[in-house]
Each structure stands twice: as structure tokens, then as C-alpha cells.
Amino acid sequence: MARPAPAAPRPTAAAGARTTTSRTRPARSSASSPAEAHRYGRLLQAYELMFWNSVAD
């Protein structure tokens, strides 16, 4: 009786995450990245200030 062929090795979780991420997330231009980061950082600071003001009330 012949033995079945071994199964192909399964990819690691990290390898699967890399392929999934690159497939689902489109590439972004890095030209506006610093400006966007600054904008979202300021938004986060504004929300944090609103949070602490509501806690203080």
C-alpha cells in the first residue's frame, strides 16, 4: 500500500497576516502622510481635552 503524499506546510500566522494586509489595504501616498498625522494628532488632543473637561465637571 502506497503512503499518501505529505501535505504542503501551512503558512505561519505572520506570513498570513502580511499577505492579508497587503491585499486588503491599498497603498497610500507618503506625500501627505506627515500633514495627516499632524491633523489627526491635533484631533486626538482636542478629544482628550474634552474628555478631561467632562471628568472634571
Q: What predicted TM-score, i.e. pTM, was given to this entire model?
A: 0.43
In a domain, 8, yes or no: no
Tell whether 36 is covered by a domain.
Answer: yes
Q: Which residue range forms the structural domain that includes residue 38?
A: 32-57
Domain assignment present for residue 11? The answer is no
Q: Give the pLDDT confidence score for residue 13 in this predicted structure.
A: 63
- 23 confidence band (pLDDT: 50, 70, 90): low
Q: Does any domain span residue 49?
A: yes
Taking the CB of residue 30, how many other CB atoms lie within 10 A of it?
7
What is the band of 19 on the pLDDT scale with cuts at 50, 70, 90? low
Note the Cα 40 to chain centre separation in Å.
16
- Torsion sign, CA atoms 13, 18, 19, 24: positive
- Our CA dihedral for 33, 38, 42, 48, rounded to 10 degrees, sits at 70
Confidence at residue 6, expressed as pLDDT on a 0 to 100 scale: 72
Decide if 14 is inside a domain.
Answer: no
What distance in Å separates the CA atoms of residue 40 and residue 7, rounded to the nearest whole number? 47
Q: Is 48 domain-assigned? A: yes
Residue 3 lies in a domain: no
Residue 22 lies in a domain: no
Instruction: pLDDT band for 16, please (50, 70, 90 cuts).
Output: low
Alpha carbons 19 and 37: distance in angstroms, whole number: 25
Query: Could you give the number of structural domains in the chain?
Result: 1
